[in-house]
Every structure is written in C-alpha cells, then in structure tokens.
Amino acid sequence: MPNLFILYILFIGLFIGKKLGAIFGLFFGIYLDILIGQAIGVTGVMLAIIGLLAEYFDKNFSKESRVTIMLMVIGTTILYEVGVYGFDVVKYSFPFEIQEFAIILTIEVLFNTLLTIILYPIFQKLGYKVEEVFKAKRVLTRYF
C-alpha cells in the first residue's frame, strides 16, 4: 500500500523548504497517529525527519532528474518504514520478523516509486509555482 504522506512531505520539503516540510510532517504525522490509533508522535517525528531531509536533498541534488527523485523516494520510504517498525518492535516487544518486514517494505517502496513516476510531472509543475511564492527573494529598495 503506498504511503502518499511520504511523497507529500518530500514534495513540500523539496519545493517549499525544511521549516514547512518539518512542520507539515509533524502535524500530518500526529494526525495520522490519532486516526490510526498508534502511539502519538512516532509518525510525526518520522515525517518531520523526511521534511528536513528534503531540504538537504534540495540543496545537494537536482529536482529535474526523475531518477534522483525516485532514489529520494526510495530512501525516505525505507527510512520511514524502518523507523516506525523499529519503534513498534521496541514498544510492543514483539519479535523482529525480517522476512515479513522485507516483503512489506519492498511492496511499499515499489508502490511509492511507481506513484512518483506517474505523479512527479504534476508535482514538478506545481512545485515550481509554489517555490516562486515561498522562496522568492523580495528586495525592497527605498530611495530617499
């Protein structure tokens, strides 16, 4: 099952900035935790980390390359799933089952990557328009 929130927070972090990416990640994660009924904060922290990483990716990698974006999605999906699953293993003290986790992780990575291939042209066009608004350097000069 694809996790659209990972894609959404990565999009916000890449095109708008790390502060808003982390804030949106935290709020959406807490909202998801309340809806799903998990321990509140785990998903929020993981999505906030993805928002912070997206700003790092924006500074160091190109948003033009679809391969680069797919690698970002793969990396952030793995980070998110490992973090949430690791917390669940520790909190609920059930045995770590690597085979089942690897299957679930592989399916989610494939779905998120496929959605990125399909949706990224739309995200890219919308992202550059949003980026102009949020990252515009407005210089006000006054002549006296």
Instruction: Tell me the pTM.
Output: 0.84
Q: Residue range 26-44: average pLDDT?
A: 86
Q: What is the mean predicted confidence (pLDDT) over 101-120?
A: 91
Look up residue 37 and give its DSSP letter: T
Domain borders along the chain are: 4-134
User: How far, in Å, CA of 92 to CA of 13, rounded?
Assistant: 31
Confidence of residue 92 (pLDDT cuts 50, 70, 90): confident
On whether the CB atoms of residues 52 and 13 are closer than 8 A, the answer is yes
pLDDT grade for 134, boundaries at 50, 70 and 90:
confident
Q: What integer pLDDT is reported at residue 127 of this predicted model?
A: 83
Return mean pLDDT, the chain: 85
